[in-house]
Amino acid sequence: MSEPLSKTRLRLWLRLLKTTHGIEAELRRRLRERHGTTLPRFDVLAALARFPDGLRMSELSDLLRVSNGNVTGIVDRLSEDGLAERIAVPGDRRATRARLTEAGRAAFADLAAAHEAWIDELLEGVDADAAEAMTRLLKGAATQGGRAHAQ
């Protein structure tokens, strides 16, 4: 009566997709409706927040697995909004690094708090033990890939 393991894994995969894409869609909706922003922009803010000294466009692009052109466009708009700034890279006249301004750090802190609260709500069916068990299982599961939301 037991199904082949490949079928069991396929069902898990379809469920992973459904859950992840469902939550992502809800995050996109809330970021847009409640904060007038987008998931790719949130991802760029989050990356810059992790690197106070700033990141080159190529580093940001690698980190988020998003094209250079896309991250450059997002950083340009963040700069226009006063949330990021570009600084020169010593010894390389053509390169710049992007980093958050103080306003950018404050804006990201607000968004990050909202994001954490939303995830807490969207995963309310998962208690601490289940969350830890799943995190551990997923770590051992698969690929070391990973990719930000921005396309």
Among 1, 5, 80, 102, binds a copy of itself (CB under 8 A): 5
The yes or no reply on residue 62 touching a copy of itself (CB under 8 A) is no
Interface map 79-118 toward a copy of itself (x if CB under 8 A): -------------------------------------xx-
The yes or no reply on residue 130 touching a copy of itself (CB under 8 A) is yes
Among 58, 67, 68, 151, binds a copy of itself (CB under 8 A): 151
Structure tokens at 17: 């997709």
Part in contact with a copy of itself (CB under 8 A); list of ranges 1-9, 49-57, 75-83, 103-111: 1-9
CB of 49 to a copy of itself, least distance (A): 14
**Ordered strands of the 55-56 beta sheet:** 55-56, 92-100, 84-89
The yes or no reply on residue 123 touching a copy of itself (CB under 8 A) is yes
The yes or no reply on residue 16 touching a copy of itself (CB under 8 A) is yes
SS (H, E, C) the chain: CCCCHHHHHHHHHHHHHHHHHHHHHHHHHHHHHHHCCCHHHHHHHHHHHHCCCCEEHHHHHHHHCCCHHHHHHHHHHHHHCCCEEEEEECCEEEEEEEEECHHHHHHHHHHHHHHHHHHHHHCCCCCHHHHHHHHHHHHHHCCCCCCCCCC
Residues that bind a copy of itself (CB under 8 A): 2, 5-13, 15-26, 65, 116-117, 119-120, 122-128, 130-135, 137-149, 151
